[in-house]
Amino acid sequence: MDGVSNASLPLPSSDRIDVAASLRGALVGADFTADGLLELLGAPAYAALARSETVPALRATRGDGALAALVRLFLLQESVPHARVADVLPVGALLESGWLAEEDGALRATVDVRPYGGPSGEDWFIVSDLGCAVGGAGGIGSREEGVVLGVGGASTTLAGITVRTPVASALDLGTGSGIQALHAAQHATRVTATDLNPRALHFTRLTLALSGAPEADLKEGSLFDPVADETYDLIVSNPPFVISPGARLTYRDGGMGGDDLCRSLVQEAGERLNEGGYAQFLANWQHVEGEDWQDRLRSWVPRGCDAWIVQREVQDITQYAELWLRDAGDHRTDPAEYAARYDAWLDEFEARGTRAVGFGWITLRKTGAAEPSITVEEWPHPVEQPLGETVQEFFERQEYLRTHDDAALLAGHFKLADEVVQEQVGLPGAEDPEHVVLRQHRGMRRATKVDTVGAGFAGVCDGSLSAGRILDAIAQLVGEDPVLLRDRTPAQIRLLVGQGFLLPVGGEA
């Protein structure tokens, strides 16, 4: 099928749920799962697929086994003799419904089917365009307008940070191949999935059916247009956030100038959330000459919402342009055409005064509080996924701090979070450390400097004594005025609570 446009290929019927169920049973029965793939291919070949390198996987599937045949058929998009899969798959039904095509006695898949392990060990399958499952046969490198991608790093990142409490309604905005809708279907009574690209909605229906998940309410249109004034308990979106000159590729280019699409998405989400609901996005934003990027993002936050915005990466404009030119395969075109496109990207950034582009996570929580909590920070360090519970606890702690003044804080009880260690930094042989660092080994894996009082306070927090009583005991030990110590310590306690080193617990002073 080399040289054939994905858009010109017929898609499998999304109405034949019986065929999807039969295919699912056959795939799981043959161990065509995330675990099965790892065992068959081995770690090096499995990892190579994520880099769009297929030679190791082709070598590992030269045998006659059923699983090897399925990997070649659905993941590597190779022709496979009819006889090799006739005993494994319901070939007749798959040909009739469009999952397979046959030519000269050999079968080819019409779509990319990639095993995907759910958070509780579920065997799921993501359906996408041929060669467009990230880590699939061809990588992305597609210049087709309506191409639909499979699982990528951005998809799994968003899935990992999403709060997974049971909800009545969830919205997956810009669903693509349906990965976020699939996750949401596990804890939402009703899931709505939207996309500007009707082909994406078709793939979402296939993904849900092949994964054995409930159907979603699929709506075509841009941003919040398809859902009118409906509200939700959870909104998630991995939007087309790329800041580019023009809108060449639907899956990545939003069609608005600069970072306007991400700004609009965030600003409009507030009125679509039910009280206590979460909206979680991936986004790009401009670093504009003469403007604080954190102030820019604070201005995006809608009224009535707390926000936590984390910048994970920053690229200068040349790195950014090169990344997305390679993504579209432009580096493989005529050098003059590539140079012209590169120039156009730099012209766009220069016109907007953009010197760099940030990437990260944006989470909103609808609270209606008169004084919202807005945290904008840079955290490029490794974290522990999944982070959904960590995100939920972050907002719960912000609510606690907002509703407790210093007196209430000192009357409160706290415990040290799990897997927090203390590090003392100083010259060898010195009697006292230069400073003390508390470090988390879970969640965001933060590290923060504290003074000796802060370290001592955190070390004895087990929930049994109020913060005030602990400080009184420390004051007696170090010979300090307890009143002064109570006056100056709440700020440090707030920092430790806000960053998750200390957790509020029940109890009376």
Residue 208 has pLDDT above 70, yes or no: yes
pLDDT for res 136: 40
Mean pLDDT of 24-49: 95
Tell me what pLDDT residue 255 has: 67
Closest C-alpha among 136, 134, 112, 281 to residue 203: 112
Q: Is the pLDDT of residue 181 over 80?
A: yes
Q: Is the pLDDT of residue 73 over 60?
A: yes
The residue-averaged pLDDT of 360-386 equals 96
* Confidence at residue 472, expressed as pLDDT on a 0 to 100 scale: 97
Q: How confident is the model at residue 297 (pLDDT cuts 50, 70, 90)?
A: very high
* pLDDT (0 to 100) of residue 230: 97
Q: How far apart are CA 174 and CA 177, in angstroms?
A: 9
pLDDT of residue 422: 94
Cα–Cα dist 20/93, whole Å: 10
Rg of the chain in Å (alpha carbons): 26
Return the pLDDT at 252: 75
Residues 13, 11: Cα–Cα separation, whole Å? 6
3-state secondary structure of 488: helix
135 pLDDT tier (thresholds 50, 70, 90): very low
Tens digit of each residue's pLDDT (9 = 90 or more) over 86-126: 999 999 999 999 999 999 989 999 999 999 999 999 999 99
- DSSP helix/strand/coil, 424: strand
Q: Which residues pair with 357 in a beta bridge?
A: 286, 315
**Using one digit for the tens of pLDDT, what is the confidence trace for 482-495?**
999 999 999 999 99
Cα angle, residue 148 at apex, residues 143 and 154 outer, rounded to 5°: 100
The HSE-up count of residue 325 (CA atoms within 13 Å, CB side) is: 23
Expressed in angstroms, the distance from the first to the final Cα of the chain is: 73
pLDDT value, residue 258: 86
For residue 342, name the pLDDT band (cuts at 50, 70, 90). Answer: very high
| Element containing residue 334 per DSSP (H, E) | none
DSSP 46-61: HHHHHTT--HHHHHHT
> What integer pLDDT is reported at residue 328 of this predicted model?
76
Residue 20 confidence (pLDDT) above 70: yes
- Residue 242 bridge partners (DSSP): 253
Percent above pLDDT 70 for the chain:
93
Q: How far is CA 130 from the centre of its chain?
A: 23
Query: Is 508's pLDDT higher than 50?
Result: no
pLDDT confidence of residue 139: 41
Query: What is the predicted pLDDT for the residue at 9?
Result: 66
Predicted pLDDT of residue 504: 97
Q: How many CA atoms lie within 13 A of 19 on its CB side?
A: 17
Q: What average pLDDT does the segment 278-303 reach?
A: 97
For tokens 């100083």, name the residue: 426
Label residue 50 by pLDDT band (50, 70, 90).
Answer: confident
The 3 state secondary structure assigned to 232-277 is: EEEEEECCCCECCCCCCCCCCECCCCCCHHHHHHHHHHHHHEEEEE
pLDDT of 241 above 50 = yes
The one-letter amino acid at 439: R
pLDDT band at 159 (very low <50, low <70, confident <90, very high): very high
At 509, is the pLDDT very low, low, confident or very high (cuts 50, 70, 90)?
very low
Find the range with the poorest average confidence among 186-190, 237-241, 501-505.
Answer: 237-241
Residues 291-300: what's their mean pLDDT? Answer: 98
- Quote the pLDDT of residue 6: 59
Question: In the predicted model, what is the mean pLDDT of residues 188-203?
Answer: 96
Mean pLDDT, to the nearest integer, of 464-478?
96
Which range, of 164-178, 332-346, 416-430, averages the lowest pLDDT?
416-430
420-451 pLDDT per residue, tens: 999 988 778 777 777 899 999 999 999 999 99
Please give the pLDDT value at position 152. 87
CA atoms within 13 A of residue 345's CA, in its CB half-sphere? 25
Q: Which residues contact 291 (CB under 8 A, 6 or more apart)?
A: none
Query: Does the pLDDT at position 138 exceed 80?
Result: no
Strand order of the sheet with strand 420-425? 420-425, 435-440, 447-450
Measured in residues, the chain has a length of 509
Mean pLDDT (whole number) for 137-156: 71
pLDDT averaged over every residue in the chain: 92
Residue 321 has pLDDT above 90, yes or no: yes
Q: What is the mean pLDDT of residues 265-277?
A: 98
Q: Which residue has the higher pLDDT, 427 or 151?
A: 151
In this structure, which amino acid lies at residue 125? F
List, in sequence order, every residue forming a beta bridge with 473; answer none if it has no partner. Answer: none
